[in-house]
Amino acid sequence: MSQAPKHEPPCRFCKAPLRDSFVDLGMSPLCQRHLRADQLGQMEPFYPLHAYVCRECFLVQIEEVAPPEEIFGDGTYAYFSSYADSWLRHAAQYVELVTERFGLGAKSLVVEVASNDGYLLQNFVTRGIPVLGIEPASNTAEAAVRKGVPTLVRFFGAATARDVAKEHGRASLLLGNNVLAHVPDLNDFVSGLAILLAPDGVLTMEFPHLMRLVEQNQFDTIYHEHFSYLSFGTVAKIFAHHGLEMFDVEELPTHGGSLRVYARHSGSSLPAKTPRVARLLEVEETRGMRGLAYYSRFGEQVRETKRKLLEFLIQAKREGKTIAGYGAPGKGNTLLNYCGIRTDFVDYTVDRSPHKQGGFLPGTHIPIRSPEEIERTRPDYVLILPWNLQDEIMEQMAIVRSWGGRFVIPIPEVQVR
């Protein structure tokens, strides 16, 4: 495997030196830093996007090249969860499931870490269950408060957990969706979860499964906002280090294949452990995820995907075809910047979020417009950047087929549909 820089940064969990490359995606800007028109002529910061695998705990990770405050904390964070219909349905189904399974009610306290714009907690509010959101991005937190979701604007860790526990009490249900990968100090974060969780409380976390990332070639989910890439076995080890024990796990289709893990304080026998925990640990072991060879092949796999996508785009442009994008997700910016795809290939992209419309994608400077622009310009191809929502998007944009337009799915390999 290729070697890391000589300074060998320490693993963010076990502190072993990082010597083994997982994939090097070159230099890339922060993926949610969309630009205004008056910023296009200014210098734009690019940072290394190189993921390593720890040979001791097998945590895949990138270095912290930009502080979390720069990414999330100044009121310009562009990701609002409520603009994906399928994600809203997923959140509502989760609330129904856990409310019934764990008997949540008016005497419970539900706390969500990285609660975004209240997309999930609003479902508990309508049931009369007390909630608190903890969210570092002030603009998304303000949107949550407008929905009636009390929200504390702070980064989460041990200090925040102690303050919340003192003021509000400890959580009956503590949850976080797609946040575990976003924290540079994993040990401080997970220790905070243990502090805030009530003695008989339940913790659930959702995160993209590293096994799916590798086996479905989802390299575009690697970006600076995601500091870690997680297997079930590694997360179980991190949680155990901080006194938390997995008692259940579900495999989910969200974000290209995610896990929802359930944890309790170590030593507790309730809720009872399900057979799914041992089963998934065995699956990961059988696939080779506890050895470096599993990770060593990924880099070339990624380079071949880049070549195939560029071959398709070059051929389409030589044939005089027009190409528009759909979506402005973080993963799309990794894909476009790594592959060098700019307005010479993609005329514009569209997004349902008004917070993104009128801006320009970081690095590539592709303009972001409203979805109506696709019907107005009738492109030959629509490149779906949030490929994990491809079915939802193709249904919403079915009109594209009326003029013979087709959809392009870039991951795991180029598909034209």
Instruction: Say how many C-beta atoms besides its own lie within 10 A of residue 307's C-beta.
Output: 10
Task: Indicate the length of the chain as a whole number.
Answer: 417
Q: 339-369: per-residue pLDDT in tens?
A: 999 999 999 999 998 889 999 999 999 999 9
Q: In terms of pLDDT, which residue wins out, 398 or 80?
A: 398
Looking at 258-383, list the stretches that DSSP marks H as alpha helix, in order from N- to C-terminal side.
276-287, 293-296, 298-318, 330-339, 372-377
Whole-angstrom distance, CA of residue 110 vs CA of residue 12:
28
Q: Is residue 74's pLDDT more than 80?
A: no
Q: What is the DSSP string of 361-386?
A: -TTT--BEE-THHHHHH--SEEEESS
Say which range, 29-33, 114-118, 157-161, 191-195, has the weakest mean pLDDT. 29-33
pLDDT of residue 79: 54
Q: Say which CATH topology domain 310-416 has.
A: Rossmann fold (3.40.50)
CA neighbor of 271 nearest in space, from 328, 200, 333:
200
pLDDT of residue 85: 78
Q: What percent of the chain has pLDDT over 70?
A: 94
Q: Is residue 274's pLDDT more than 80?
A: yes
Q: How confident is the model at residue 69 (pLDDT cuts 50, 70, 90)?
A: low
Q: What percent of the chain has pLDDT over 90?
A: 84
Residue 54's alpha-carbon distances to 49, 161, 192, 371, in angstroms, are 16, 28, 23, 42
What's the predicted TM-score (pTM) here? 0.89
Say which range, 124-133, 165-174, 251-260, 309-318, has the weakest mean pLDDT. 251-260
Are the beta carbons of 296 and 275 closer than 8 angstroms?
no
Are the beta carbons of 202 and 172 closer than 8 angstroms?
yes
pLDDT of residue 261: 98
Q: How confident is the model at residue 71 (pLDDT cuts 50, 70, 90)?
A: low
Are the beta carbons of 254 and 388 closer than 8 angstroms?
yes
Tell me the average pLDDT of the chain.
Answer: 93
| CATH of range 81-266; options 3.40.309.10, 3.40.1190.20, 2.60.40.10, 3.40.50.150 | 3.40.50.150
Residues near 92 by beta carbon (within 8 Å), at least 6 away in sequence: 123
pLDDT of residue 256: 83
Q: What is the DSSP string of 71-127?
A: HHTTS-----GGG-HHHHHHHHHHHHHHHHHTT--TT--EEEES-TTSTTHHHHHTT
Q: How confident is the model at residue 81 (pLDDT cuts 50, 70, 90)?
A: low
Whole-angstrom distance, CA of residue 128 vs CA of residue 389:
31
In the chain, domain spans? 81-266, 310-416
Whole-angstrom distance, CA of residue 161 vs CA of residue 171:
10
Whole-angstrom distance, CA of residue 256 vs CA of residue 330:
14
Q: Is residue 5's pLDDT more than 50?
A: no
114's tokens? 């990285």
Q: Is residue 14's pLDDT more than 80?
A: yes
Q: Is residue 88's pLDDT more than 60?
A: yes
Residues near 84 by beta carbon (within 8 Å), at least 6 away in sequence: 386, 389, 392
Tell me, yes or no, if the two domains 81-266 and 310-416 fold the same way: yes
- The DSSP secondary-structure symbol of 287 reads H
Q: Is residue 7's pLDDT more than 90?
A: no
Say how far residue 325 (Cα) sits from the centre of its chain.
Answer: 20
Whole-angstrom distance, CA of residue 406 vs CA of residue 403:
9
